[in-house]
Each structure stands twice: as structure tokens, then as C-alpha cells.
Structure 1
Amino acid sequence: MSDAIADAKRALRAELRERRQSMSPQSIATAEDGIRLHLDDLVARLGVRSMSCYLARPTEPGTRAFILAAVERGIRVLLPVSRADGLLDWAVATADGDIGEGLFGVPEPVGELLGPIAVNDVDLLIIPAAAVDESGMRLGWGRGFFDKTIGSMEGCPPVYALVYDSEILVEVPRDLHDQPVTGAVTPARIVEFARAH
């Protein structure tokens, strides 16, 4: 990655992180309600029976209510668990599952791990993002876990990033290893991107 791209990513991530941290608890709760509604619509439209999602940090678009409702409806939800080698293990979400702190302070499930290839059987990937641009390029938080996962999957299913409405940008800095997404789910809408990559 060139220094200019790395610097641009770092600066944009810092701006987006600061914006998220300044949101009120009420705004975050309202956003989670919208995210859940649109994720429910997406799952129903795609006929999803097995999917991956993640446990959101307090300032991220919330996922917990959606995950619990999906599990109650019988959808198999895999949650990521970060590994020191840069790969993700996966654990099955349960209604009463324990949550701990992962390698980088991220909430993660505690329990039986299924290994990195378990995600190959899902119908849909829901992943975090700092921002997504109008072409579907995703800016992650800089550790590369989800880019590696998406890039290594054969027959990758649809991939949707969760962001706030203001985080769909005209363009984000990108490098060769960065992976585009199929769409984005925001509190107000579902956005589909043309697959020109």
C-alpha cells in the first residue's frame, strides 16, 4: 500500500470514528431500530437460512437485536472471532451466548469455534465498515480480517456492509487487497451497488 493511500485511509477513519463517538445514545438506538428493520427485509428477500453477522461495538450501527431475532426465527448466524494470524474463526450465535472481548477490544462470542472455513456455507455476509463508496468499495477499520475472508471465499455470497447514512461517500481510498461489497444497509435504506469490479 502506498503511503498516500495509507495516510488517506487513516485520516478518513479518524474522522469517521470521531463522528460516531459524538452521536447521542438516542441516535444510536434509533439507528439500530432502522438497521434491524432493513436487515430483516434483506434476509426475507434473499431467503437466508444461514448467514454471518458480527457483534457491533457501542458506536457502530447496532446488530444485537437483529441477531437475537434471527436466531429465534431459526436462522443460523455465525459470529466472527478474530485470530492473531489475521484470519477469522466463527461461532454459532445463541440466544443466551456469552460475549467476551476479542483481540482488539471487539465484542466476540465465547464458546466453540468452527474454524475459518465455516463461513463458506452461509447465504449472506453482514460485515462492519467505516464507510462505503458509491461504487461499492468498502473502507474497513484497517486490520484486513473481512477483506481476507471475502477474498478467499469460493462462490462468495452477497456481502452487505453496515454503515450510518452519512457514511456512504462518493469515493473512499482503496488499495489492491480491498474488497467491494454487494450493498450497504443503513438505518434509512438498503443500497445495492453495481458489480463492476
Structure 2
Amino acid sequence: MEMPGEREKHAWRTEIIARRRAETPEEHAADTRALVAAAGQLDVGAWVCAYVPVRGEPGSTELLDALRTAGARVLVPVTGPPGPLNWAEYTGTDSLRRARFGLLEPVAEPLPTSAIAMAGLILVPALAVDRRGVRLGRGAGYYDRTLSAADPGARLVAVVRDDELVDRLPEEPHDRRMGWALTPRAGLQRLGEDHFTE
């Protein structure tokens, strides 16, 4: 039986996906350039978990390259059975191959879910995030099941467009809150209860 929170999340997803589809290639390219510039605010450390954007997600491989230029080794998800994500190291666009669901993945040997624990910074794709840190994903739950393996001190950063940082989203008990949002124009922003007013 579908719960009211699930219906509300579905409505949010439908609206945001429609807005992303309406974005022009020029708008997306401008947002990508701005995100790469904003990534300069990140303290990357030795390892970063990130993602290869698909289907209108903010960012591009240019963002991954910027993380590598800053000195980090970058892990991105690889497809597998439903459940926690496995990872592989991104070493440049020439290391990517087409995989299931239209994703691009490194050809490197996959690493287990526990590899996420090496990262002090985790960039998480999101459809939206609210000022409390509640993240709206696509609904499959891959990241919610994976983030429990992260280092408790890792910085969780939702990457969204500027209009996808909102005041409040529906939240369920299994949702893992983000500590920061990274947006093209506003850059890196701290999230949390003390940053939200009714």
C-alpha cells in the first residue's frame, strides 16, 4: 500500500524531471561550467565518491576531471543487482564504457560497497534536497542502502540545480540526510536543522 509520503515524493519527482527535460543544452552547459567552478570550494582529500551524470543530472565528466586535478582519486558507481552500490575508479573519459540503463562506467575492476568508506567526500546525485538535508532521489534506494557503509565523518554533498534546493521535502525513516548542497550558482551550502526556519 502506497503511503502519503510516497505519493508526495512521486509528485516532486514528476515535476523536477519535467523541468530537467525542458532545460536547453545551452542552459545545461552553463550549469555544468558553473558547477566545475563551484567544485573549487570542495576540500577533496585523497578519495572522493562521485557519479557520472545521466538523464539531465547536474554536472558532467568535467566535474570528475576537476576533482582529479585537485588531487583526489575518484570512485563512481557501477551497475549491479538491486541493493548497495559497487564502485570503480574513474581515471578519465577514455576509461568509460556504456553499461546498463544508459550509464557510463569505468572499465576498471569493480570494488565492493565498502570502498565508499575510503572517501571523505561523497557527491550524491539528487533530484532535490531541502535545507534540512533531506534528499529526493529517483526512488530506487541505491544510495540510501549504500551510505550506511560510508565513513561516519564523510561529507555528504547533494548535487542539484539552484532551483532544486528547496525549503522542505517529504521524509521517510530510511532517508539519509545530506550535510551540504552543491549548486551551480550558489556553490557549496551547509544544510541542517539550524539552517531551516518554519
Question: Which structure 2 residue ranges, 5 or more long, are not aligned?
Answer: none
Deviations 1:74-103 (A, max 9, x none): 42000111321311111011122022223x
Task: Name the SS of the counterpart of 2:143 in structure 1.
Answer: helix
Is 1:23 the equivalent of 2:23?
yes
Q: What CA distance in whole angstroms lies between the structure 2 residues aligned with 1:57 and 1:127?
A: 13
Aligned to 1:138: 135
Give 1:131 shift: 0.3
Is 1:178 the equivalent of 2:175?
yes
AA aligned opposite 1:152 = A
Q: Any conservation in 2 of the 1:120–1:156 contact (CA below 8 Å)?
A: no
The alignment-based identity, stated in percent, is 31
Question: With structure 1 as the length reference, what TM-score do the two structures score?
Answer: 0.90
Aligned to 2:113: 116
Task: Name the SS of the counterpart of 2:154 in structure 1.
Answer: coil
Q: Any conservation in 1 of the 2:45–2:71 contact (CA below 8 Å)?
A: no
More displaced, 177-186 or 61-70?
A: 61-70
Q: Any conservation in 2 of the 1:150–1:156 contact (CA below 8 Å)?
A: no
Q: Any conservation in 2 of the 1:133–1:170 contact (CA below 8 Å)?
A: yes
Q: Any conservation in 2 of the 1:182–1:195 contact (CA below 8 Å)?
A: no
Q: Any conservation in 2 of the 1:128–1:162 contact (CA below 8 Å)?
A: yes
Aligned to 2:77: 80
Is 1:50 the equivalent of 2:47?
yes
Aligned to 1:94: 91
Q: What CA distance in whole angstroms lies between the structure 2 residues aligned with 1:47 and 1:97?
A: 21
Provide the aligned length of Structure 1 versus Structure 2: 192
AA aligned opposite 1:24 = T
Question: Which structure 1 residue ranges, 5 or more long, are not aligned?
Answer: none
More displaced, 5-14 or 152-161?
A: 152-161
Which residue among 189, 192, 197 is the counterpart of 1:191? 189
Q: What CA distance in whole angstroms lies between the structure 1 residues aligned with 2:35 and 2:190?
A: 15
Task: Name the SS of the counterpart of 2:75 in structure 1.
Answer: strand
How large is the Cα RMSD of the aligned pairs?
A: 1.8
AA aligned opposite 2:26 = Q
Q: What CA distance in whole angstroms lies between the structure 2 residues aligned with 1:154 and 1:9?
A: 28
Q: What CA distance in whole angstroms lies between the structure 1 residues aligned with 2:183 and 2:99?
A: 25
Question: With structure 2 as the length reference, what TM-score do the two structures score?
Answer: 0.90
Give 1:73 shift: 4.5
Q: What CA distance in whole angstroms lies between the structure 2 residues aligned with 1:20 and 1:86?
A: 26
Deviations 1:27-70 (A, max 9, x none): 0000001111111221xxx2522111100014111131021233
Q: What CA distance in whole angstroms lies between the structure 1 residues aligned with 2:138 and 2:82?
A: 17
Residues 1:152 and 1:71: Cα distance change in structure 2 (over 3 Å): closer
